[in-house]
Every structure is written in C-alpha cells, then in structure tokens.
Amino acid sequence: MSVLRFAGAKILNAAITLLVALLLISGIFAVYTVTELRGRLAEEYVLALRQLEVQYRNNPELLEEKSRQLYENLMERYGLTGNFVQDVATWTVKLIKSNITFDFGVTQYSYIGGTNVIGDILLLAMKNTAILFLTATLITFAIGIILGFQMARKPGSIFDRGLSVFGMISWSFPTWWVAIIMILIFSFYLRLFPAQAQYVYFELSKLPPDLPLFEKIVEQAKIWLKYMTMPVMTIVLVSFGGASYLIRNIVLGILQEDFVTAARARGLPERRVIYGHVLRTSSPPIVTYLALSIVGAFGGAIITEAVFGWPGMGLVYWIAIQQSDAKVLVASTWVLTVFFILTILILDFIYSLLDPRVRTGAT
C-alpha cells in the first residue's frame, strides 16, 4: 500500500470515528441537559405556584390563568417546548454546532483561572494537567525503560523477580490512597511540601513584575516544583513498577526471536544487540503505551487531582459533576475525545515509520 493510500485510509477512519463520537456525545449530553432543565423548571414552577395559590386562593379562574402564564414563561426561559424528543433534537443540534466550532460559551459556575469562558477554563486546565501528568509519565517511562531492559536481560534473577513483585503490588495501590499517605508524611509530619496545589497561581501572582527574565523563570520554576513535586512522586511511585514489568515482557519476547539469535551468532556486542536491534523492534508497542498514557494524562485523574487540589482537567471535571454543569462536561469530553483520536492517528503514522510492515499489512 502506498504512503498516500495508507494516510488517506487512516484519515478517513479518524474522520468517521470523530463523526460518530460527535453524534454520541452531543446526543447523550442533550438528553442529560433536557432532563436537568425539566427538573429545574418543575422545581421552580412548584415553588412559584405555591405563592400564586396563596395570592389568588379566592379567585380560582385567575389562579388557573396565572399558573398557565407562569408555566409558559418558564418554558420560554429554559428554552423548552414540552416535547421531550423535540427538545433533545434541538439541544443535540446546538451541541453539535458548539463542538464543531469549539465555541462552548460561558458557565455560571466558578472554576479555575477566575474566568467563566469555558474554552479558557479548559485551556488552562489542560496546560496544568500537562505540566503534572506529562512530567510524571515521562519520568515513569524513562525509569521503566531502563529497569525493564535490565529485567529482560536477566530473567529469573533476584532483581527481575523483586521488581516484578513490586510492580504488581504498586500497580494495585489506589493512587488516591498513596496520595493521602504522601500528604500525611511530607506535608503534615515533615512539612516539606504544601498539601494543596490550588494556591500555585496565587503565589505566582506575588512575584514582582519587574524581575529580570531569567530570574523570573527561575522563581516560577521553583514555585511549580514546590507544588508539583509531591503529586509527581505519587504518580511515579504507583506507575513505574508496572511500566517496568510491561516493558520487560515486551523486550523478553523479542529477545527470543531468531534475528536476535542471529545477531548474537555473528559476534555482535550484547549492548549493540539490545540497543541496536531489540530497542528498534520493541519501540512500536512501547511508543503506543507511552502515547496512550500521555493522552490519558491530559484527561487528568479526577480523584488524584481532587486530593492534591491540582487545578487541572480532573478537578474541572469533578467540579462540573458536582454542580451538574452540562456545558463544561460536554466540552471537556469532546476536547479529550478529539485529542485522543488525533493522537491515535499520529501514532499510526509513527508506527508506519518504525515498522513499514504496518503499511504493507493493511493491503
């Protein structure tokens, strides 16, 4: 299959997937929005009706007319028609338009950054999540690749067995539980790091505006490191054992291939065999795992960010769920879906460069 046909097929698949995701997300949240609006309308109608009943209790005809006017006004204010299917269809079209244009409007609730523009909230939250989880993911994989290759070179050794057991145990720990333990140790007992990170922008805002550029960058880096060190330590501690074990299994399977045996038979140094042949062959699944972990990182971890008070996507999602803010929920879901699908598309092209058999195998 030619490169152009391969690229065209992958882009078409991604476009179809995006279209299906757009319809599903818009439809699901349209049902949620209409149901939420109908519930609010009913609650407000009942409260207002009680006042009308007291005011017009001696005039039933006028009470009936005022009640009808009240209901019609509420329906108009909430943008409902009374027909559930029609309302859902109307909201689905609205959400499709807003998702396509990435114009999500504003929210009435308070989030991070001191703004109510949903797009600005999500950009700031994604940046904060990237700072935290991207850093933790890269550190995890750097450690995982080094340890995983060492484990694969000496399978069955004490080092291999010990780290494998540690990886399975650490991977089973809930991140939020480890986060609470880290807060108790490093914040309350040792008092080395702050327990909550929501004050990071407040501390950044206190920096003198006339600082030289280099000094300003250094001071900002110190503040970020102070607030993100403990969350990064928590994520890496929970994740690096599992990443090492996964990479160990990938590399161990490749070490048993015939081309590795042939390379060793030719007298090539073990270092060249490992890093010249095995690393290239094992790179596609490792890159896949890394890319998907990075994409997942942009989604944040709702409970982890809530525990540390980290102002990222997870915390925004948690606040939106608590406040039943459908606008922010649908915007967050759509942005992360687009990002995920585009990452998979880019990953397919990287795959084709690392292993040309991917293109020929698709014919």
How would DSSP label each residue in 4-72? HHHHHHHHHHHHHHHHHHHHHHHHHHHHHHHHHHHHHHHHHHHHHHHHHHHHTTT-HHHHHHHHHHHHH
Please tell me whether residues 182 and 281 are part of one structural domain: yes
The per-residue pLDDT for 213 is 82
Q: Is residue 252 one of the residues assigned to a domain?
A: yes
Residue 106 covered by a domain: no
Contact 213, 148 (CB under 8 A): no
| 80 shares its domain with 160 | no
Q: Are 291 and 345 in contact (CB under 8 A)?
A: no
Cβ atoms of 206 and 199 closer than 8 Å: no
Residues 89 and 207 grouped into a single domain: no
Range of the domain at 35: 3-101
Question: Is residue 188, in this structure, part of any structural domain at all?
Answer: yes
Residues 98, 197 contacting (CB under 8 angstroms): no
Asked whether residue 78 falls in the same domain as residue 213, the answer is: no
CB 239 within 8 A of CB 143: no
Q: Are residues 291 and 204 in the same domain?
A: yes
The answer to the question of residue 236 being in a domain is: yes
Give yes or no: residues 257 and 172 share one domain. yes
Q: How many CB atoms lie within 10 A of CB 208?
A: 8
Spell out the per-residue pLDDT of the chain, length 363, in tens.
566 777 788 888 889 999 999 999 999 989 988 888 888 888 888 888 888 887 777 777 887 888 888 888 888 888 888 788 999 999 999 999 988 988 888 888 888 777 888 888 888 888 888 888 888 888 998 898 888 888 888 888 898 888 888 888 888 888 888 889 999 999 989 888 888 887 887 888 888 888 888 888 888 888 888 888 999 999 898 888 888 888 888 888 888 888 888 888 888 787 788 777 787 778 778 877 777 777 766 655 777 888 888 888 888 888 888 888 888 889 988 988 888 888 888 877 777 776 665 555 544
pLDDT at residue 23, as a whole number: 92
- For residue 363, the model assigns a pLDDT of 46
3-state secondary structure of 127: helix
One domain, residues 94 and 157: no
d(CA 140, CA 138): 5
In a 13 Å sphere around the CA of 212, the CA atoms on its Cβ side amount to 3
Q: Which among 323, 340, 356 is the end of a domain?
A: 323
Please check whether residues 223 and 149 belong to one and the same domain.
yes
Distance CA 126, CA 128 (A): 5
Number of domains comprising the chain: 2
- Is there a contact between 287 and 347 (Cβ–Cβ < 8 Å)? yes
Residue 332 is assigned to a structural domain of this protein = no
Question: Is 56 a member of any domain?
Answer: yes
Within a domain: 349: no
Q: Is residue 289 part of a domain?
A: yes
260 shares its domain with 145: yes
Q: Are residues 259 and 150 in the same domain?
A: yes
Q: What is the CATH number of the domain that holds 308?
A: 1.10.3720.10
Same domain, residue pair 122 and 97? no
Task: Render 299-354 in DSSP notation, one character per residue.
Answer: H--HHHHHHHT--SHHHHHHHHHHHT-HHHHHHHHHHHHHHHHHHHHHHHHHHHHH
**Which of 43, 72, 101 is the last residue in one of the domains?**
101
- My answer on whether 92 and 217 are in the same domain is no
Question: What token pair was written down for 118?
Answer: 């949903």
Burial of 223 (0-12, 13-18, 19+ CB in 10 A): middle
For residue 52, give the amino acid letter. L
